[in-house]
Amino acid sequence: MRIYIGFDDTDDVDADRGTGKLARWFEKKLPPGAKLWGVVRQQLPKIEGIPCTSNNSAACLIIDSSDDIPLKTYIDAASDHIQEFFIQGSDPGLCVSTEHNKGLESLIQFGYQCCYNIMRQRDAMNAAYGCHLSGHGGTNDGIIGASAAIGLTMSGWSGRFIEFSGLRNFPQQVTTRQLFKKGIMVLPIDRNAIPPGPDDIIDTRLWLRPRLWGFQPVLPVQKVSDQYWRSISCKKNKEHSEINFSNLND
C-alpha cells in the first residue's frame, strides 16, 4: 500500500533547513515494513496574499507500506517529527493519506487550484476528505500546502524529486543505463526527440532532480553532441541556471 505524507511551512527565512530537508529526514523515522519510494517537492505560487518564506514549496513523501501498519503510526510519527524539527514562528501543517483515499479527485483538484488561486484552510479541510489533516503551530496555514502537496503528487504529473534511489549520490556524469537501473527514465526535449542510447552519457550538472511525470521519475535532457546529453536544470546559484532553449526549433 502507498502512503502519502505532506509537510508544509515548517521553516522561516533565516532557518538552516527547509521543509524539503525536514521531509527527507523523516525516512529515518519509518517503521519496520515501510520503505521510502521518493520525496517530491511541489512548488506553489508566490503571489500577493499568500504568506511564504523564500520559495513557497511543500513536500510529499511517497512510502511503500506493509498493509498491517496502521495509518495512525505514520500520523503520530510525522507529528512528532514536526515538533522536533520545525522552526518557531512558522505555521506547520501535516496531511497523511493512503492511495485508496475516497476523496482523491477533490484533493488533486485542490492541489491544482493552489497553483493559481489563493486557497484557505477551509478549502483544504473540504478537499482532504478521508485524509488526516492537522496544523502544528502558528496560524496552521501549513495545512493548505501540505494537502496541496499530496494532491499534486497523487496526480502523477507535478513536482520534482528531491529524494529517489539515492539521487544525491550520483556523480556528475552517468549513463542512461545507470539511471534506468535506478528507476529514473530519461526524456529528450529536443525537437526530434530521439531517445538517448543506453550507454550515452548524461551530464546531471551535479543536481540530479527528476520530474514526476506519468507517475514516475523522469529526467528531461537536451542533446549536446553525439552520445552526450545534459539535464535541462541545475541549481539556481550555478553560473547558468537553465539551458538556452533558443535552438530547439531550428
Question: Residue range 43-62: average pLDDT?
Answer: 77
pLDDT in tens, 127-175: 998 999 999 999 999 999 999 999 999 999 999 999 999 999 999 999 9
Whole-number mean pLDDT of the chain?
A: 90
Are residue 118 and residue 203 in the same domain, yes or no? no
Question: Residue range 44-63: average pLDDT?
Answer: 77
Tell me, yes or no, whether 84 lies in a domain.
Answer: yes
Q: How far is CA 68 from CA 31, 115, 178, in A?
A: 11, 35, 34
Give strand pairing partners of 27.
Answer: none
- Other Cβ atoms within 10 Å of 88 Cβ, number: 8
Q: What is the pLDDT of residue 48?
A: 63
Q: What is the pLDDT of residue 11?
A: 73
Cα–Cα dist 128/139, whole Å: 18
Are residue 94 and residue 78 in the same domain, yes or no? yes
Are residue 12 and residue 30 in the same domain, yes or no? yes
pTM: 0.90
Are residue 204 and residue 96 in the same domain, yes or no? no
Q: Determine contact, residues 130/103, Cβ cutoff 8 Å.
A: yes
Question: Residue range 96-107: average pLDDT?
Answer: 92
Are residue 170 and residue 208 in the same domain, yes or no? yes
Binned at pLDDT 50, 70 and 90, residue 50 comes out as low
Question: Residue range 106-117: average pLDDT?
Answer: 95
Tell me, yes or no, whether 245 lies in a domain.
Answer: no
Closest CA to 55 of 66, 42, 74, 65: 42
Q: Determine contact, residues 130/102, Cβ cutoff 8 Å.
A: yes
Tell me, yes or no, whether 242 lies in a domain.
Answer: no
Tell me, yes or no, whether 79 lies in a domain.
Answer: yes
- Domain carrying residue 210: 165-231
Domain total of the chain: 2
Cα–Cα dist 147/59, whole Å: 10
Question: Residue range 70-76: average pLDDT?
Answer: 97
Are residue 64 and residue 137 in the same domain, yes or no? yes
Q: What is the pLDDT of residue 249?
A: 39
Share above pLDDT 70 across residues of the chain, in percent, rounded to a whole number? 89
- In sequence order, what are the residues at sequence separation of 6 or more whose Cβ sits closer than 8 angstroms to the Cβ of residue 219? 179, 184, 185, 186, 187, 202, 204, 208, 210, 211, 231
Hey, is 7 helix, strand or coil? strand
Q: Is the pLDDT of residue 238 over 70?
A: no
Are residue 184 and residue 146 in the same domain, yes or no? no
Are residue 31 and residue 91 in the same domain, yes or no? yes
CATH of the domain at 100: 3.30.70.2200
Q: Is the pLDDT of residue 205 over 60?
A: yes
Tell me, yes or no, whether 81 lies in a domain.
Answer: yes
Binned at pLDDT 50, 70 and 90, residue 239 comes out as very low
pLDDT in tens, 160-172: 999 999 999 999 9
Q: What is the pLDDT of residue 235?
A: 83
